[in-house]
Amino acid sequence: MLTTLQKEKPVLSFFQIWNMSFGFLGIQFGWALQMANMSAIYEYLGAQPENIPMLWLAAPLTGLIVQPIIGYLSDRTWTSLGRRKPYFLTGAILSSIALVLMPNSSALWMAAGLLWVLDASINISMEPFRAFVADMLPPAQQTQGYAMQSFFIGLGAVIASALPWMLENWFHIADAHTAGSIPATVRISFYLGAGAFFFAVLYTILTTREYPPDDIQAFKAQQAAQRGFWHGVTEIFSHIWNMPKVMRQLALVQFCTWPGLFLMWFYFSVAVARNIFGATDTQSPQYAEGIAWAGICFAFYSLITFLFSPLLPAIANRIGRKFTHAVCLLAGAAGLWYVGFASTRYELLLSMTGVGIAWASILAMPYAMLVRHLPPEKTGIYMGIFNFFIVLPEIIASLFFGKVMETWLNNDRIAAVTVGGSLLCIAAIITLFVHDSNSNPSNS
């Protein structure tokens, strides 16, 4: 069946691409607040360092389950709201509720449970946004589309990561808290993030029109014929088995890239508080100050992402997507390695410069290399499957890295971050072997 998605798509203007990507600004509020604060929230509620990876298990497991299902369903959806937009809206509503509830957790089990809900909800919104670029843009603009998503991710993370620090230092919100409770600055940051998530996604829904199938009756008849749980399961596994060659190659890149990032997210904030600021326990003023500065560091690398992302299409056009990605990953590796040598808070900003460059590319280049090798009518399901190679290594890290921390790294949080840098370096080397034949986006 030939749908509009398979025909040549019109070239969109800068502001049309801006509008269709704006929802990622809100989605990143959810991710950034989580990444910058969850390890600290867990420690506030009594978690030990070796428990942290296991408590983060919610993120990869929900991604593993939710993303391919949402991708499969969104490929087969058409409503008055559109193809992908119903999922944008559902995820935004659920995520906003979870963001409001999270900082009111009174026990470790409650925070861990809410993280499962939050991650599942964010994935419902985020996965269709990846397929949205392929739906709406011609191949020559797809790198630009993913770079625009990276731009909004950087902007959202700058604001969200720095929110606790801004509330304390600009608005003088009292940050005193009792043992086992979450500071007021963190709670208010999550409330603001909930509003930002919902309204940014709503903006994209209201300003962007999706392309409908040419023959809506034939489309609905085909979907009715393919309805059923087992049909969906078998189709997902069939697509896993028959992945395009480039997708298999990029899977190896992702499999090394994301554990490096996870180790940073697991341990960077608490490493800054304890190793740079000298905090001895979670109730000391140095701990709160260190966590706030770690948020500034996350905001800074997101600022670098925000500034660097618009340059990615031009760089990729000149040297190719895979070489661009490899160089950016090496910059990130260098940044994480340098954390082990930093002796002051300001040196950490140099580390985060490299991480921000890598993050901009991680959010754009693998998808730009992949999407042109996927059947247009199967983009959603393949993007969901591609997420396996993000979440599977995180599951492995969550299950086993706590033992590594306890046995070999002596619970040294900075050592864990530098191990992450080594993994990014390996990913950069593997990237050089990806067969990205259409190296020039304008010729795609």
Residue 4: the pLDDT is 43
Which residues lie below 8 Å from residue 284, measured CB to CB, with a gap of 6+? Answer: none
Cα gap 339→333, rounded to integer Å: 10
Residue 139: the pLDDT is 87
Strand, helix or coil for residue 436: coil
Q: Average pLDDT by consecutive 10-residue portion of the chain (444 residues)?
A: 56 94 93 85 82 78 85 87 93 96 89 91 91 90 92 88 85 67 87 96 95 70 60 77 91 94 88 89 84 85 92 94 97 96 93 96 94 85 89 82 85 91 97 76 36
CA distance from start to end of the chain: 24
Which residues lie below 8 Å from residue 247, measured CB to CB, with a gap of 6+? Answer: 370, 373, 374, 382, 385, 386
Cα gap 410→192, rounded to integer Å: 37
Residue 441: the pLDDT is 38
In the chain, the amino acid numbered 170 is: W
Residue 444: the pLDDT is 35
> Domain residues of the chain, as ranges?
18-208+244-443
Closest CA to 347 of 415, 402, 297: 297
Considering the domain 18-208+244-443, what is its CATH architecture?
Up-down Bundle (1.20)
Asked whether the whole model's pTM tops 0.85, one would answer no
Cα gap 16→14, rounded to integer Å: 6
Residue 78: phi and psi, rounded to 5, are: -145, 120
Strand, helix or coil for residue 11: coil
Residue 440: the pLDDT is 42
Residue 291: the pLDDT is 83
Residue 179: the pLDDT is 59
Closest CA to 60 of 4, 115, 135: 115
Q: Are 148 and 21 in contact (CB under 8 A)?
A: yes
Residues facing residue 82 across a β-bridge: 79
SS3 content of the chain, % helix, strand, coil (to 5): 80, 0, 20
